[in-house]
Structure 1
């Protein structure tokens, strides 16, 4: 992880962890510690490389995508989960008018 791209992914990951609304200080949370430990563990040095080239970066990018997508899904559900519309409301929405129900014969 010698390039600046992994740092961008790391910052993005930590930002998504902040959006999870974890109670307390983020630096003390296990998820935060785990992400930083993994970045330190797979850091490319002159003496060791990670298992496959860019594998750790790819995993971090995938996890970041998962966190971001889950957050965006929650936001969309909150915005559009007001329930089902009635048939009459749906017809009015597109500019149609339902026929009146026939009156029962007596």
Structure 2
């Protein structure tokens, strides 16, 4: 359960980045995740449901949320802003122009 708790915390942290509500307990996504975690805990002990199901689902959702956040950050950083000068383009990709001091 320790690994599952870490995944749950990470999921809530990622939801916090995109959530409009200030309190996470009011967020419907967080409520759903916590309810599913409680259901899984009860069924895995009583009915011997696959113990890794919650972990794998949580890891998949966490990967999706992190990827979406990183994609949006990269897209806003490198989005086309029309024509750029040669210096701006060189700075963007990490090059120096020949007349710049080294």
Match of 2:32, SS?
Answer: helix
Match of 1:42, SS?
Answer: helix
Aligned to 1:54, which of 52, 65, 83? 52
Name the residue aligned to 1:39. Answer: 37
Farther-moved stretch of structure 1 (21-30 vs 70-79): 21-30
Q: Which has the larger radius of gyration?
A: 1
Q: Unpaired segments of 5 or more residues in structure 1? A: 97-106
The structure with the greater share of residues assigned to helix is 2
Alpha-carbon distance in 1 for matches of 2:58, 2:48: 16
TM-score, normalised via structure 2 length: 0.72
Name the residue aligned to 2:78. Answer: 80
Structure 1 vs Structure 2 CA RMSD: 2.4
TM-score, normalised via structure 1 length: 0.70
Q: Unpaired segments of 5 or more residues in structure 2? A: none
8 Å contact from structure 1 (residues 42, 49) kept in 2: no
Name the residue aligned to 1:99. Answer: none
